[in-house]
Homo-oligomer: A and B are copies of this chain.
Amino acid sequence: MEPTVTESYTPTPEDHFSFGLWTVGWQGRDPFGDATRAPLDPVEALEHLAELGAWGVSFHDDDLIPFGTDERERERLVKRFRAALDRTGMVTEMMTTNLFTHPVFKEGAFSANDRGVRRFALRKTLRNIDLAAELGARVYVAWGGREGSESDAAKDVPAALDRLAEAIDTLCEHVISRGYDLRFALEPKPNEPRGDILLPTIGHALAFIERLEHPEMVGLNPEVGHETMAGLNVVHGYAQALWAGKLFHIDLNGQHGAKYDQDLRFGAADLKSAFFLVDLLEHHGYGGARHFDFKPLRAEDEAGVWVSAAACMRTYLVLKAKARAWRADPEVQAALAAAGVPELSVPTRGPGETLGQLLADASAYEDYDPEAAGRRATNIERLDQLALDHILGVA
């Protein structure tokens, strides 16, 4: 039942793995250091990723078409990229807008205090939604990297949320009016590059969506590292997004706690949490891309980039096999039952039980023995250790 050493864990397009062009293309520029790697041609990225067994890519407009490119060059670049997609069989599964690199966005984009910047940000996004639709992307991600502040004096947050909502509503209006088959996915992040970013967690973004004009068109693209930066349980967060029907896309990577955004390769930080995340995605039928948003370490050379990209997929496949084995293990099933896990799916009120009946049920309160219930076995430690054994391959 346990995966054996002979299993290959070799990815194929059926695994639906995808990578941002900016991930393998990251040149290693960080707040204290210059680039360590040469620029990577998007077409070369496609080819390499296809060879490694990936299924698709995602990108910011500026990853493919540098900021300020004229119309003719834009068309040439897009055409060349489409040809490479056709040649490699790769798909553009997601697209997004870069609203954070250029100085114009230094104080925000959709929620910049400056109205001209906001209009420019909207227009930059609208035009790239057309490109996304043209390339067949089904998800358009919005990460508001600079929608935030370092000073509570300088940002009127309710007004900022109004402007963010106005922006997303406008994008939805555009998609509807053009008849695109495209949904939006908001990507929460608590901070960096701004001191505090609006919609900092999965929860805040989910709540925000409910105040939009077309909540049904908007979901989430949560990132493992971003939730970890807020010290939150990643699996809990993804589960709440699933529960709300809003897990439209995912960013898989690794992060060691509350510090700068590390974007480590998937599985490289909290391995146990990665196991339970894969288990959640596979077990709950998440149907979207298995999308990696990581940065190969700045110290690596170009060869190291592909080693780390391949490792992301391998680790996912290993954990997927382990999750399957975990679910299938009779000892685990018994331990889950002993811990009462399946019992939580039984509603608290009986079938058809009225409030009056609940209030009248003496066994629920008057005759209930809380002392005995306080002494009951919960069997959590045993269940958790079984998971550890499965992860370690010693179950």
Contact = CB atoms under 8 A, between A and B. Distances in A.
Contacts of A235: 152, 157
B191 A259 contact: yes
Given A204-B202, A271-B391, A236 B120 contact: no
Interface stretch (A46-54, A76-84, A88-96, A166-174): A166-174
Contact of A345 (B156, B244, B373, B385): B156
Interface stretch (A11-19, A134-142, A361-369): A361-369
A340 B32 contact: no
Contacts of A343: 113-115
Contacts of A377: 300-301, 303-304
Interface in A178-217: 190-193, 195-196, 198-211
Given A34-B103, A116-B368, A339-B113, A258 B261 contact: no
Nearest to A374: B103
Interface residues of A, number: 171
B111 A344 contact: yes
A154 B339 contact: yes
Nearest to A143: B32
Contacts of A145: 32
Contacts of A228: 257
A383 B260 contact: no
B232 A394 contact: no
Contacts of A43: none
A240 B204 CA distance: 8
Contacts of A336: 153
A340 B299 contact: no
Contacts of A69: none
B193 A120 contact: no
A161 interface: yes
Contact of A273 (B152, B157, B231, B258): B152
Interface string A219-249: 0000000001111110111011011100000
A365 B126 CA distance: 11
A63 to B, nearest CB: 13
